Structure 1
């Protein structure tokens, strides 16, 4: 495996180093990741545990992926034209100026309905107090974070429990890591355990999401500002993102079984009967 020193002499055109020499090298530890996942299952609001899981399961291909994009002419263009995605994504007034039916409109609709903002995601990450480094790894990691809600909009996966697991597995297809696999599949299994006896094809939904992510061009590499201006259906077609048919079938089955897909882990069905757990 390459060491930090192997990247110390690699710079972007503006002088930004690929990997800052002070950036710690994460160590792979599956037991530590599992311990943190168990803690996350007990306190799903503790987002710091998610970061600890990812830190415990670093991908050996992460730095090469950063290197391939950030040091390319295309990556240089993205850094120059889109230095801050949150500023672009949170400017709803500008996004609403794009044509009706655009990705920009769909994104605004989603974020406003959910009460979300790109800046809010940044703030949640900043609460963890992790050091930041002036390197291309930081740029790549932040761009990955800032495109998360665009994944929801483009894939059609909601913010329900299954939708979040599907987005994680879609993300794994885009940028493979054991962290995505652990949280995504363990989360899907937890859903199945919470709704025992349901005929909803939960594992089929997350597997479809993973295949879709793998078959789609990486969103992090796309010119987001330009995509936002285009019809959302055209963007999905260009990125080879089909309808999330199995996920929607899960929602259909659950509703036929009296289960609210957006409140399934609360312990009651829509008609007030306790779920079998």
Structure 2
């Protein structure tokens, strides 16, 4: 949708000549937003830093910034300028308060996605606000456009993906969730972290665990599952977890589970693949 008015700087985005906007005047992409530049060397630098500390998610965001996808804006446009997208923006302007509202989520039925999500987040000591805070540390400006809404929504569904897919927060589980995300919305950032991380696991851990089979299964699952960013998240949270997985074509992560089984049989802790065991192996 293109409008033919201008706006004053500092005011809410409104109709601008030649620029696409939603019906409420919110710009699809603020013209002040810098055009991202593709840099594989910069992405690899941040990937190496991420390997040193997988909890430092700032490097994940920098990798995505370094490897912008040409398919990103078409996906933003397709959702945000549609009636469905406008309804999502009205009903779910931000996912953070919804996902962090555990008191309300705990009122939903036993066995629901919401209950499993709360269990996961509380067990891991995570919050949607915490992930948002990590992103804000980068100091990037806010533009308030549709591109920003879509990007934040994509970011905030990450931990929900863990719950729906059954992938944990171990090293392989994180790679699998990223490759699930790649299956949903292809970008070189997801591909780099997912498969380079898998290569690092294979190089570091002496095991016969089928790491790459687990990764490829995650990617296929993401491709067959409808994009979570386009779903009404409140409705998804209220669904029974097993029903949600069936409706979304999310099977059991069998190869991931097989990796965990083999590692444990080999005396390897799946949640310490790249920690103390890796340091001991390097020292040896």
Following TM superposition, by how much is the alpha carbon of 1:81 offset from its aligned partner in structure 2, in angstroms?
Answer: 0.7
Q: CA 1:26/1:254 → structure 2, altered by over 3 Å: closer, same or farther?
A: same
Query: What runs of 5+ residues in structure 2 fail to find an aligned partner?
Result: 1-15
Q: How many residues end up aligned between the 2 structures?
A: 268
Residues 7 and 18 of structure 1 are in contact (CA less than 8 Å); yes or no, is this contact kept in structure 2? no
Q: CA 1:60/1:113 → structure 2, altered by over 3 Å: closer, same or farther?
A: same
1: CA distance between counterparts of 2:80 and 2:106?
Answer: 30
1: CA distance between counterparts of 2:196 and 2:23?
Answer: 42
Counterpart among 247, 272, 282 of residue 263 in structure 1: 272
For structure 1, which segment, 23-32 or 173-182, has the greater mean C-alpha deviation from structure 2 after superposition? Answer: 23-32
Query: What runs of 5+ residues in structure 1 fail to find an aligned partner?
Result: 1-5
Following TM superposition, by how much is the alpha carbon of 1:45 offset from its aligned partner in structure 2, in angstroms?
Answer: 4.3
Residues 20 and 133 of structure 1 are in contact (CA less than 8 Å); yes or no, is this contact kept in structure 2? yes
Q: Is residue 83 of structure 2 the alignment partner of residue 73 of structure 1?
A: yes
Q: Is residue 239 of structure 2 the alignment partner of residue 230 of structure 1?
A: yes
Q: CA 1:265/1:100 → structure 2, altered by over 3 Å: closer, same or farther?
A: same
Following TM superposition, by how much is the alpha carbon of 1:39 offset from its aligned partner in structure 2, in angstroms?
Answer: 3.2
Find the counterpart in structure 2 of residue 134 from structure 1. 144
SS in 1 for 2:271: coil
Following TM superposition, by how much is the alpha carbon of 1:217 offset from its aligned partner in structure 2, in angstroms?
Answer: 0.3
Following TM superposition, by how much is the alpha carbon of 1:234 offset from its aligned partner in structure 2, in angstroms?
Answer: 0.6
RMSD over aligned Cα atoms: 1.9
Find the counterpart in structure 2 of residue 220 from structure 1. 229
Following TM superposition, by how much is the alpha carbon of 1:7 offset from its aligned partner in structure 2, in angstroms?
Answer: 9.8
Q: Is residue 182 of structure 2 the alignment partner of residue 172 of structure 1?
A: yes
Find the counterpart in structure 2 of residue 160 from structure 1. 170
Pairing of 1:1-277 with structure 2 (within 5 A) = 9-196=19-206, 198-268=207-277, 274-275=280-281
Q: Deviations over 1:68-90 (max 9, x none)?
A: 00000100110011111111111
TM-score (ref. length: structure 1): 0.92
2: CA distance between counterparts of 1:267 and 1:192?
Answer: 16
TM-score (ref. length: structure 2): 0.90
